[in-house]
Structure 1
Amino acid sequence: MQGKKHYQEKLFTNFQLSDRVPADNIYRKLKETLDLQFLYASTAKYYGKDGQKSIDPVVFFKLLLVGYLENQPSDRRIINISSMRLDILYFIGYDIDEELPWHSTLSRTRQLYDEDIFNQLFKQVLKQCIDKGMLTGKRQAVDSVFVKANASMSSVEDILEDGQVFTDQLKEGQATEGDDHLSDKSERQKTQKRSNANRASATDPDARMSVKPGKVTKLNYLSQLSVDTSSYVITSIGACHADKKDNQCLDTVLDKVCANLGDHGLEVKEVIADANYSSSTVLQSLVSRGITGYIPNTGTYKSERQGFTYNAENDTYQCSQGNSLKFIGYKDHHGVSKEYMSKRSDCAVCSVRKQCLKKSTYKTITNSLSKPLFDDMHKRLNEAYGKQMMVIRKSTVEPVIGTLVEYLGMRKVNTIGIELANKCMLMAGIAYNLKKLIKYEGKSFLQVIMSLLEAFKSSRFYYT
C-alpha cells in the first residue's frame, strides 16, 4: 500500500544532538580529539572583569575551523552553515535552540587576539601529530603559493603622486599656485612602470602586486609553508609580502620549523625546495645550521666555464688559446664576487676573438664567493639520492598546497593586513593537520619500506 507522510510540527520533543551525529563524522572525531582548554588561560589577558560576556574562545576557534574545513572562510557563511548543521552544532557545543554569535563577533575577536594565540593552537595540534608518531622531522619540503588579498586592482594608486608632481615642477621652475597638474600626471602615468615601489592598494596597503606566468596581475600575499615528507604534516606556515623572493623568506621558514620541532626534540637534517629558493645567502645559512639542502641552482649558475680551465693553485683561468685571466679583485654583483680579467694585448691577436669577446676588448669571468657551495649542490643533485629528493618534493609539498587552496579556504584571505592574513593561513594549516590527525592509523606499508630504505642508505654497507 502506498504510504503518505503527514507532517505536523511538534510543540515539544525529546532530542539529543549526540544521538544524531554518527561515530565516523569528522566533527564528532574532532570533538573527541581536540583539546582547547588551554585557550581560556591564554586569552584571559584580553578581557576585563566587568561588562558583557564575550564569545567563548574555544567556540570562536572551533567556528574558524569550521570555515576552513567547509572551504567557506567567510564569517557570515560560517554562521549560516553552522546554524543548519547538527554535526557542527554538536562540535561547537550549541544546542538546536541556541542562538549563534553574530558573524561580526568573529571578525572583532580575530583582530583582538595576537598571532601568538594562533601559533599556540598550531603548535598544540602539531604536538598531537608528533605524540602520535606521525612525523620524524628529519626532512622538510618547502614551497610557496600566492594567496589572493581582499582587495582589487582598482584600489591601487600612486604613492605620493601629488608630491612628486610638485617636486618635478619645482625642478623645472614651473610650480605656481593653481597650476593644472592633470596633463603632467597623465604623461607620467604612461611612462612610469607599474611596480610595488611606487604604487599601493588604498584598501589593503600590505597586499602586493604579483603575477604568475600567463596570468593577470593581482594583489596577493605569499604563503610560505614547510611539510614533513614522512607524513605530509605541515610543520610551519605563514604570510609574507608577495613582492618578496622565495630565497628571502627561507631563513624565516627555517626559524619557525626548527622552533616548532625543536620543542619536541626533533631535528631538521634535510631541506628540499625548488630553484626559486637558491641563493648564496640561503646556502650559507644551511651550512651554519648544519642542514643538508637539495635546492637546484639558479639558471645563471655554470658548473664549468666552456673553453676555460681553472687553476686553483694560481687562482687563474686559462682559455683554450693558452692565455690567462688573472684575479683582479672583488665586485658587488648579486653578492660579493671574484672577478678575473684577461689582457687586452692577448685578446687583440687571438684567433677566436670575435666568437669569445663579441664587441668587448677583453674577457672577464665573475664567480660568486659562494661558488664552492653551488658546486657542492650541483654535485649533490646529480647523484641518485638527490634526484630522488626532487621527486619527493613534487609529490609532497605541491599536493598539500593544492589541498589548502582548493579545499581548505586558502585561495583568498577575507581580512585586511598581513597580520590577519598570517592568522588565516595558520588556521588553514591547523585544519589540514587536524584532518591528517584524525585519519592517521599508523604507518602504511609504503612508509615502512621507505623508512627501511633510508636506514639502509645511511648505513656503512651502502655505496653509491
Structure 2
Amino acid sequence: QHSIDPIVFFKICLVGYLNNIISDRKLIEYCSDSLSIRLFLGYDIDETLPWHSTISRTRQLYEEDIFEEVFQYVLNKCIDAGLVQGSTQSIDSCFVKANASMDSLEFKVPEQELDDYLKEVRHFSSIDKDQNPKRKVKHNKARKEQRIIKADKHTLKSIATRQKKWSREQDQRPGAKNKGSKYTSNKTHYSPVDPDARISVKPGKARKLNYYAQMGVDSDYQIITAIKADYADQKDNQCLQSLTEPIIKNLSSKAIEIENLLADAGYSSGENYAWLEDKGIKSYIPPHGTYKGGPENFTYHKEGNYWECPEGKHVTFRKQRIEKGTLKDLYLTKRSDCKGCPLKTACIGKQHEKKIMITAYREHYERNKERLRKRPRHKTERMKTIEPVFGTLTNFLGMYKVNTRGIQQANKCMLMAGAVFNLKKLLKYGRKPLKSVAKANKITQKSREDLVSKTNAFIRKIISDVSPYNFSKTILN
C-alpha cells in the first residue's frame, strides 16, 4: 500500500480518539463516510483514504519519542494558556484491556524443556495436563526468556498449596464452576499472542490480560502531565518513581516545579518517601496498613537509636538487612535483660531476647503522616482530580482497550489518548474571553460567511465534475 503523510496519520488518530474508535478498520470506514472529516484530512470526495493496515503499520514504524513529542507539544500549549498550576500533582493507575485472549495462555517451561516436568508442575486443573490451549496461536511472539519459568521450586510449591482447594472445586477453567476455568498466574503462564500483556489480579475482579495505565494529573484544570503504559503485574509503589520522573521532565521545560504529590496507599513505601524528599517534593500518600510505627507500649529514643520497653530495658540497634525486598533495622535486647522479667511470657514467649524488625525509613513515614494530618482533605482532593480523568479516558476517548500488541505500542496509544484529552481541555478553557457582545457577533458572522463560501465552492466542484451540463452557476446563483 501507499505510504501516508505523517500529518494525515496523526489527524486520523485524533479523529479516532475523539470518537472513541479503537479499531483501525472502523476508523477508516468512519472517516470515509464523513465529508467534514474528509475536509479536515485534506481528502476530496472522490479520493481514497489510506487502508487500515497502513495506519497500523505507520504506528509501528514511528518511534515512541514522536508520540511523546506530540503529547509534550499539547501540554506546553495548555501551560501557555494558564491551565497548569504545577505545584500539586495527583497520580493513580488503572487496568486497560490488552488485545489478547485468556484462552490462548500457555505454560512456561523450564529451560531444559522437559515434557515430563511440565506435567508435574501443572497442578492447577486437569485441562492443563491433558489438553492444549483452547485457542492455539499460529505464531508464538514470546521471546525465549518469556517462555521460561523463573520461579523457584518453593514458589511453585506455595502456589500449588494455595490453590489446592481451588483445583479440587473448580477443575474446569476462570470463575467459579465455569466449564472453562483454570487457575492462572504470571509465574506459570504467558500469552504467546502478546507476551507483554500480564494477568491482572484484583479482589472481586476476574483475571484478565491487561496493561497498567499510570497517569499524573495537575490539580488546577485536570490537565494530564504524564501518562505511560506499564506491566499489569507491577505494584503501584514500584511505578511511582518511573511515573514521577516524566512529570518533572515535562513541567521543567516550562520552569514549573512540583511541590506536592498526592496518591493512594498503593504507592506508599519508605523508598518512595525518601526518594520524593530528595527531589524536594512533599508526599501526601497514606501509609500501607502493614506499617505500625513500632511495637506497642515501646518508646523510641532518637538520640540513642533504641527502643525502651515498659520495664525500662533498652532494645538497641544492631544492623540493617534486606527482608522481602525492604531495608529494615534490627533491634535486640540482651538475654540478661529479659531473664526474670515479669512480662517475658507475654512479650517474647519462649524466645531469649526481644527482637524488633522495623523499616529503615521510619522517620520518612512519620513525616509523611504528619503532613497528612495537617491536610485532612487530601483524599477528596486527589479523587476529584484524577478519577474523572480516568472515567473520561476509558469511556469516551478510546482507552478502554489497547488495540495493539506490545508495551511500546500500548504506550503510544495511551500518549495519544492523553494528548487528545488535554486538547479538548485546551479548546474548552484556553479561549480568551470576548470583551463585548458586538465583537462576538462579528466573529460569528465572519465564521458563517467563510463556511458558506467554502461550502459553495465545494458543491460547485461536485456538480461540475458529475453533471454533463454546467448547471452550477444557475443552481448556486
Once residues 87 and 352 of structure 1 are traced to their aligned partners in structure 2, the CA distance between those partners, rounded to angstroms, is 82
Give the stretch that moved more between structures: 307-316 or 416-425: 307-316
Q: 1:349 aligns with which of 300, 325, 340?
A: 340
Q: 1:410 aligns with which of 399, 402, 409?
A: 399
Within the candidate set 435, 440, 445, 2:429 is matched to 440
Q: Give the Cα–Cα distance (whole angstroms) in 2 for the partners of residues 326 and 265 of structure 1.
A: 47
The reply to whether residue 230 of structure 1 matches residue 179 of structure 2 is: no
| CA distance in structure 1 between the aligned counterparts of 2:226 and 2:430, rounded to whole angstroms | 23
Instruction: Give the SS at the match of 2:357.
Output: strand
- Check whether the contact 2:81–2:430 (CA below 8 A) recurs between aligned residues: no
Q: 1:199: Cα distance to partner?
A: 2.1
* Residue in structure 2 matching 1:135, options 65, 84, 89: 84
Question: What SS is found at the alignment partner of 2:14?
Answer: helix
- Of the three residues 379, 383, 394, the one matched with 1:390 is 379
Question: What is the aligned partner in structure 2 of residue 243 from structure 1?
Answer: 233
> Of residues 355, 369, 373 in structure 2, which corresponds to 1:364?
355
Aligned length: 378
Alignment deviations for residues 169-196 of structure 1 (CA, whole Å, 9 cap, x no partner):
xxxxxxxxxxxx75x4645877763432
Q: Which amino acid aligns with 1:301?
A: Y
Out of 263, 272, 293, the position equivalent to 2:253 is 263
Tell me the equivalent position of 1:288: 278
Matched, 1:84 2:33: yes
Shift of 1:348: 4.8
- Structure 1 residue aligned with 2:17: 68
Partner of 1:419: 408
In the alignment, what sits opposite 2:330? 339
Q: Cα distance, 1:335 vs. partner? A: 2.5
Aligned partners of 1:103, 1:196: CA distance in 2, in Å?
A: 33
Deviation at 1:268, TM superposition (A): 1.5
- What does 1:103-122 correspond to in 2, within 5 Å? 103-122=52-71
Report the alpha carbon displacement of residue 254 of structure 1 after superposing the two structures with TM.
Answer: 1.6
Match of residue 324, structure 1, among 314, 318, 323? 314
Amino acid at match of 1:322: G
Structure 1 residue 256 displacement after superposition:
0.8
Q: Please report how far the alpha carbon of residue 69 of structure 1 lies from its aligned counterpart in structure 2 after TM superposition.
A: 1.1
Q: By how many angstroms is 1:226 displaced? A: 0.4
TM-aligned CA distance change 1:359 to 1:418, over 3 Å: farther
Deviations 1:316-337 (A, max 9, x none): 2121123322222222124322
- How far apart are residue 89 of structure 1 and its match? 2.3
- Counterparts in 2 of 1:360 and 1:85: CA distance versus 1, 3 Å: farther
Per-residue CA deviation, residues 335-360 of structure 1 (Å, 9 max, x unaligned), is: 32211123445445333334333564
SS at match of 1:219: strand
What SS does structure 1 have at the residue aligned with 2:329?
A: strand
CA deviations on 1:275-321 (whole Å, 9 max, x unpaired) are: 11111221121122111111111212223532111222332212112
Q: 2: distance between equivalents of 1:241 and 1:257?
A: 19
Corresponding position: 1:399 with 2:348: no
Q: Which residue of 2 aligns with 1:163?
A: 112
What is aligned with 2:101?
152
Identity, % of aligned pairs? Answer: 46
Aligned-partner SS, 2:222: coil
Q: 1:119 to 1:187 in 2, by over 3 A?
A: closer
Which residue, out of 91, 94, 109, partners 2:43? 94
Indicate how the Cα distance of structure 1 residues 162 and 303 shifts in structure 2: closer, same or farther if over 3 A, else same. Answer: closer
Task: State how far apart, in whole Å, the 1-side matches of 2:41 and 2:248 are.
Answer: 33
2-side partners of 1:283 and 1:73: how far apart? 38
Distance in 1 of aligned mates of 2:193 and 2:419: 28
Counterpart residue identity of residue 296, structure 1: P
Amino acid at match of 2:94: V
CA deviations over 1:101-121 (Å, ceiling 9, x no partner): 111111010001011111111
Is contact 1:134-1:442 (8 Å) kept? no
Q: Cα RMSD (Å) of the superposition?
A: 2.3
Letter of the 1:215 counterpart: K
Deviation at 1:272, TM superposition (A): 0.9
Partner Cα distance (2:419, 2:382) in 1: 21
Question: TM-score, with normalisation over the residues of structure 1?
Answer: 0.76
CA–CA distance in 1 between the matches of 2:277 and 2:122? 51
Q: Indicate how the Cα distance of structure 1 residues 125 and 329 shifts in structure 2: closer, same or farther if over 3 A, else same.
A: same
Per-residue CA deviations over 1:5-27 (Å, capped at 9, x if unaligned) read xxxxxxxxxxxxxxxxxxxxxxx
Give, in whole Å, the separation in 1 of the partners of 2:376 and 2:68: 34
Structure 2: gaps of 5 or more residues: 127-155, 160-183, 434-477
